[in-house]
Amino acid sequence: MPAYWGIAGYPVSHSLTPRLFALVGEHLEMDEAIPIFLEAKGIDEFTSLVGDLEGEIWFSCTAPLKHSPQTRLGVSGPEGVNAINQLSRKDGVWSGVSTDGFGFVAACRHIGIEPAGCTLRIRGGGSAARAIAAAWADEGGLIIAEEGRRPLVSGPWNSAIIENGNAVIGIDLDTAPAGGESSTLDAEMQVSISYGDGASTDEFAVIMVVAQHLEAWKLLFAPDRVDELPSLSLLLQKLSVS
């Protein structure tokens, strides 16, 4: 049982993560942690703020904190992704995982899109783009990469890259956080992982954040209680009425 759980990064005031921690915690009868929104525009501010918190801490983290923990906290992201978005501090030691890609795949399956043999058109090359590309390729999907603010660099997804084709789903990962507008991509369906205040549980961005939060519990926060976790559908239902 952690002393605190919540979200870290900037901006975070719109984040559903503290509510998701509370809902999953209630489901597992682990509801005594203190929820926190930790606004930090850099790793120095983050380490200063968490230094004042005693006990075990569970965080989801967003920009601009996905890369810094690798050097400052000694937490390494997956090969090629080289970033994390989930952090845990226990007995003064940090650990972390990346769940962006797993959450994206789970959200796609939730809306009826199976990655295997399916083409994803993706714009951007940041940590979320790399995590999604890695997970999509690992599930047998194909990728058309469009350069945005930065290109999608070489990685474990190289064999899945194709030059052109019919994209079933598209995503612009250069969209601004907190509900920013996406550029239009050539795909049968376009989704976004950016959501703002008042977002509905029918929105893909919300489905994904719920899916990746569940993955964090499985991989980092409570891997010994995987069989007791709520399903994605149940957690979305709980969120919609909370």
The token duo for 58 is 């569970």
User: Where is average pLDDT lowest: 55-59, 87-91, 148-152, 153-157?
Assistant: 148-152
Give me the half-sphere count of Cα atoms (radius 13 Å) on the Cβ side of residue 203.
16
In this prediction, residue 213 carries a pLDDT of 96
The domains of the chain are located at 4-99+208-241, 101-191
CA–CA separation, 195 vs 180, rounded Å?
Answer: 7
Closest CA to 156 of 81, 98, 103, 101: 81
CATH number of 101-191: 3.40.50.720
Does residue 66 carry a catalytic annotation?
yes
Give residue-wise pLDDT tens across range 172-205. Answer: 988 766 555 777 899 999 998 888 778 899 999 9
Catalytic residue among 66, 90, 218, 238: 66
- The continuous run of DSSP H or E covering 112 comes out as none
163 has pLDDT over 70: yes
Amino acid at 199: A
4-99+208-241 CATH, one of 3.40.50.10860, 3.10.105.10, 3.60.20.10, 3.40.50.170: 3.40.50.10860
The token duo for 77 is 């992201």
Closest CA to 130 of 100, 87, 160, 85: 100
Domains 4-99+208-241 and 101-191 share a fold: yes
